Amino acid sequence: QTRDRYPTAPLLCDPPPFLSFTMLRTPSLAKTLRSIPKHNLSVLLSQQRAFSTAPVTVAIAGATGAVGQELLELLDERKFPLKNLKLLASARSAGKQIPFKGENLTVEELTEDSFSDVDIAFFSAGGSQSKEFGPAAGKAGCLVIDNSSAFRMDPKCPLVVPEVNAEAIPDAEDSMIIANPNCSTIIMNTVVWPLHQKANCKRVVVSTYQAASGAGAQAMAELEQQAKDWVAGDPITQDIFGRQYIWNLFSHNSPIEETGYNEEEMKMVKETKKIFSAPDIAVTATCIRVPVLRAHCEAINVTLESPMHEDEALEILSKSPGVTVVDDRENNKFPEPLDASGKDDILVGRMRRDLSQPEGYGLEFFVAGDQIRKGAALNAVQIAEEVLENYPTLLKKL
> Annotated catalytic residue: which of 183, 201, 287, 297?
183
DSSP letter at 234? P
User: What's the one-letter identity of residue 111?
Assistant: T
Q: In this structure, how many other beta carbons lie within 10 angstroms of the beta carbon of residue 271?
A: 24
157, 201, 296, 297: the catalytic one is 296
Number of other residues whose CB lies within 10 A of the CB of residue 49: 16
DSSP 149: S
Cα 232 from Cα 2, distance rounded (Å)? 41
Our answer to whether residue 296 is catalytic in this structure is yes
* Nearest in space to 363 (alpha carbons), one of 175, 166, 198: 198
β-strand partners of 44: none
Would you mind telling me the total number of residues written for the chain in this entry?
398
Helical residues (DSSP H) of the chain, grouped into ranges: 21-24, 27-34, 42-45, 66-77, 127-139, 162-165, 183-199, 217-232, 263-276, 310-318, 337-340, 378-390
Question: Is 287 among the catalytic positions?
Answer: no
For 209, the 3-state DSSP assignment is strand
CA neighbor of 270 nearest in space, from 126, 146, 127, 153: 153
Task: Please state, in angstroms and as integers, the Cα–Cα distance from residue 290 to each residue in 207, 211, 301, 316, following that order.
Answer: 12, 6, 20, 30
The answer for residues whose C-beta is within 8 angstroms of residue 290's C-beta and 6 or more apart is 209, 210, 211, 249, 297
Q: Which residues are catalytic?
A: 183, 296
